[in-house]
């Protein structure tokens, strides 16, 4: 249990770090791409001014579009007709009439991402002035392929760093979870030791009390009223002894000191013996006990511990099945596992209690008012898992609780 908690803490640490890392990476890449876009717009704006000066004043300023397939430009008059252009303007999506109209409407620089023949293109459009009057527009564009390559390069740099950071976070999370769990483990060990020692020490006086009471009853020199009191005391002593035995078993399971064998055994025989033990009790309470199991169900595990699990399930079903009710026990082979289902016609388990039905000392008293100490089902699941199997609970569609024991098939 503590190992599962430690692993969950480690996964939690790693998941939080991964989320932070992914968020920062996305922000970094988005910020880098945005900054590149701003710088590119500034560059295109400057190039557009230089080209406009060349066209209007007959100058020969050097521009990036000369001899380049990455950059291009086009000049338009007020009617949107081309007056001059670069040879590769069409391949970069120029001219863009909508961008030209927006430029004239705003009488200022407008930038946008447009579609070229080979992908997206960043374009800047600005008015051309001659003698203080707008005589047309000039559009300057650049393919975004180089920008994408730069962003991809950044991503390729960040990915190894991110995975490396995530690996270090997992190792750090494992270390921190171990440190965080250390006081919990020590407290748990002290609690387990106390429970084991206290249960063991209490068993001796209970045995003596039971022996003394049985001797008094055996002598027979007690009046009927005292006999009832002694019998009641013996019944409570028996119940207390059962609780202490469960506590000792739980402590041994937690400490890993319980020997659980992994050997082939006939589950049909174990099931038949366990059901036979509860047959008389079921008949006395007016409950029908139905069993359906094929012969030769060879499982791998501990037959004694499997019998304990089945006994806990039958005892639980009998306590919560009303008179004239039915308990159905069905065993079947399913692939690499064998399933034993114990279904009763009792009140079932309320949905809010179902997730905690296997918690120790948890009693869903509102749903199942005759519950026991809250240890039986918890220990049963631990015993099932110690054999490589599992135990689950659900409500049947027709009503009542349904417990499913899974054990490995030999």
| Tokens 């025989």, located at residue | 269
Residue 111: predicted pLDDT? 93
How far apart are the C-alpha atoms of 14 and 22, rounded to whole Å?
12
* CATH code for the structural domain at 263-408: 3.30.565.10
How far apart are the C-alpha atoms of 270 and 312, rounded to whole Å?
14
Nearest C-alpha neighbor of 11 from the set 142, 172, 134: 172
Nearest C-alpha neighbor of 18 from the set 226, 191, 163, 174: 163
Residue 158: predicted pLDDT? 83
**pLDDT tens, residue by residue, 370-380:** 445 677 888 88
Which value, to the nearest 10 degrees, does the dihedral of the CA atoms of residues 186, 191, 193, 198 take?
160
How far apart are the C-alpha atoms of 136 and 377, rounded to whole Å?
85
**Taking CA 79 as the corner, what is the angle to CA 75 and CA 80, rounded to the nearest 5 degrees?**
40
Put simply, whether the predicted model's pTM sits higher than 0.75 gets the answer no
Q: Which residues of the chain have pLDDT under 70?
A: 1-2, 184-185, 187-188, 191-192, 194-196, 199-200, 255, 257, 363-373
**pLDDT tens, residue by residue, 336-374:** 899 999 999 988 888 888 888 888 777 665 444 444 567
Token readout for 282 is 């079921």
How far apart are the C-alpha atoms of 66 and 18, rounded to whole Å?
47
Residue 341: predicted pLDDT? 93
Residue 5: predicted pLDDT? 74
Residue 156: predicted pLDDT? 87
The residues spanned by each domain of the chain are 263-408
Residue 403: predicted pLDDT? 94
What lies within 8 Å, CB to CB, of 160 at 6+ separation is none
**Contact assessment for residue 78 and residue 104, using Cβ atoms and an 8 Å cutoff:** yes
**Contact assessment for residue 374 and residue 360, using Cβ atoms and an 8 Å cutoff:** yes
Residue 150: predicted pLDDT? 85
How far apart are the C-alpha atoms of 236 and 245, rounded to whole Å?
14
Instruction: Tell me the Ramachandran region of residue 338: left when phi exceeds 0, alpha when psi lies from -120 to 50, beta otherwise.
Output: beta
How far apart are the C-alpha atoms of 26 and 39, rounded to whole Å?
20
How far apart are the C-alpha atoms of 100 and 137, rounded to whole Å?
6
């Amino acid at each position: 249990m503590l190992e599962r908690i430690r692993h969950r803490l480690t996964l939690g640490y790693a998941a939080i770090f991964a989320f932070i890392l992914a968020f920062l990476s996305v922000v970094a890449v988005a910020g880098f791409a945005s900054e590149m876009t701003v710088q590119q717009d500034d560059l295109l704006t400057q190039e557009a001014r230089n080209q406009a000066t060349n066209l209007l004043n007959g100058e020969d300023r050097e521009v990036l579009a000369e001899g380049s397939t990455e950059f291009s430009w086009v000049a338009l008059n007020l009617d949107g007709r081309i007056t001059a252009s670069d040879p590769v303007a069409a391949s970069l999506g120029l001219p863009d009439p909508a961008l030209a109209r927006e430029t004239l409407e705003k009488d200022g620089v407008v930038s946008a991402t447009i579609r070229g023949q080979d992908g997206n293109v960043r374009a800047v459009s600005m008015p051309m002035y001659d003698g203080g009057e707008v005589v047309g527009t000039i559009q300057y564009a650049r393919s975004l392929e180089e920008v994408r390559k730069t962003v991809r390069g950044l991503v390729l740099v960040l990915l190894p760093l991110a995975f490396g950071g995530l690996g270090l976070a997992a190792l750090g999370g494992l270390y921190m979870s171990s440190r965080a769990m250390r006081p919990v483990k020590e407290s748990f060990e002290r609690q387990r030791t106390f429970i084991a020692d206290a249960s063991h020490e209490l068993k001796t006086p209970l045995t003596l009390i039971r022996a003394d009471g049985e001797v008094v009853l055996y002598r027979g020199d007690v009046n009927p009223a005292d006999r009832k009191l002694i019998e009641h005391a013996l019944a409570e002593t028996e119940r207390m002894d059962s609780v202490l035995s469960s506590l000792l078993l739980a402590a041994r399971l937690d400490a890993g000191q319980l020997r659980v064998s992994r050997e082939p055994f006939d589950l049909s025989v174990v099931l038949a013996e366990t059901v036979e033990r509860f047959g008389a009790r079921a008949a006395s309470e007016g409950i029908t006990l139905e069993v359906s199991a094929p012969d030769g169900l060879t499982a791998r595990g501990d037959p004694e511990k499997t019998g304990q699990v089945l006994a806990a399930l039958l005892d639980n079903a009998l306590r919560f099945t009303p008179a004239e009710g039915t308990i159905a026990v069905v065993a079947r082979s399913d692939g690499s596992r064998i399933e034993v289902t114990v279904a009763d016609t009792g009140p079932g388990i309320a949905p809010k209690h179902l997730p905690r039905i296997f918690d120790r000392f948890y009693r869903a008293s509102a749903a199942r008012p005759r519950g026991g100490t809250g240890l039986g089902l918890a220990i049963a699941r631990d015993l099932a898992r110690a054999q490589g199997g599992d135990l689950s609970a659900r409500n049947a569609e027709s009503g009542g609780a349904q417990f499913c024991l899974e054990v490995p098939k030999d």
